[in-house]
Amino acid sequence: MNPKTSFTQVLTPAQQESLIELLKAGNYHPITVPYTRYAAETPDCRIHVYQSGKCLVQGRGTEEFITFILEPQILLAPRLGYETILDPDSIKPHMGVDESGKGDFFGPLVTAGAYVDESLYGPLKDLGVRDSKTITSDAKAIDMARSIERLLGPRKTVVMIGPARYNSFHIKVKSVNNILAWAHARCIENILMVIPDCPRAISDQFGQKQQVIRALMQKGKKIELVQRHKAESDLAVAAASVLARAGFLLALKKIGATYNRTIPKGASPAVIKTGCELVKAHGPQILNEVSKNHFRTTDVILEQCGLSRKDLASPTPAASEE
């Protein structure tokens, strides 16, 4: 969903006073607009407080102003505000699915699903749930995931494809998108086992929707599947992204504890250095157990160690679900 650039809300007299005071005290430039009590602007948006009590916010910074200023500081009801007015479907029963680890050489691919309805929307907002990519602290992501798990109970799922299983899976299907389709379908089916009448599943757009539809089993055949760019703006998808990220981070910590070293994320020079250290200490077959071997990074590590792909043993399956 594209960012909204206009928003209207009727304010109580007390809310009007609070907003005007905030605008006067903050980094807002006052402007003259007919029939307003007060009006101000920033480079990104204009805020008009009309004599009728109506507040109008316009401009590309509208969503940010509503989310971070008007709702939490003036309306004092972030769970009832901007998103639900502009997108009433956001609080209707549905599930979100997202993944973590796809772009990381080390560690598993983790996919998660989370269910949201009107009763859960507010509590999830109160937890500060948002796209996991905006959470810079690993510890905070893990802590938020635990809070989400406590709140949702069985209305969530985490599917983890460990490196060994991932490698054998990739050899078979020859496509990351095919693996993602299977994992997303598995999450959808898992939640449908708990909430069989969930009508809709939302995920980010990573490939052809038909890939996921084909991977769905009997329970998921009738669900409406929605794929869209920046799907993490949906609260259910955001909750799933946090669950998946925490699962990935904890799995990476477990690998590090097993081999007594810090395992870096991504596919950086630090990753190559760690990969070379592991190969020298444990042999090339170790990559089958700790990394995703279709990455070009595998070849770089093996070349630096004087080896090639023929030195890798065949992966052995190791998958788990939560």
- pTM exceeds cut of 0.85: no
Query: Are 6-86 and 90-253 equal in CATH topology?
Result: no
Q: For the chain, which residues make up each domain, given as ranges?
A: 6-86, 90-253, 260-316
In the structure encoding, which two tokens stand for residue 47, read together? 């805020």
pLDDT at 117 (0 to 100): 94
CATH of domain 90-253: 3.30.420.10
Q: Express each pLDDT in 277-310 by its tens digit.
A: 999 999 999 999 999 999 999 999 999 999 999 9
Instruction: Give the list of residues 6+ apart from residue 176 with CB closer than 8 angstroms, or none.
Output: 102, 170, 294
Rounded to the nearest 10 degrees, the angle between the axes of helix 163-173 and helix 176-194 is 120
Task: Name the token pair of 287.
Answer: 């990559």
The Cα–Cα gap between 79 and 71 comes to: 8
Q: Provide the b/e sequence for 102-136 (b: ≥16 CB within 10 Å).
A: bebbbbbbbbbbbbbeeebbeebbebebbbbeebe
Tokens of 148: 């989400």
What confidence tens digit (pLDDT) does each residue in 120-167 have?
A: 998 998 888 888 888 889 999 999 999 999 999 999 999 999 999 999
Q: Residue ranges of the chain with pLDDT lower than 70?
A: 1-4, 77-87, 218, 314-322
Please give the CATH topology (third level) of the domain spanning 6-86: TATA-Binding Protein (3.30.310)
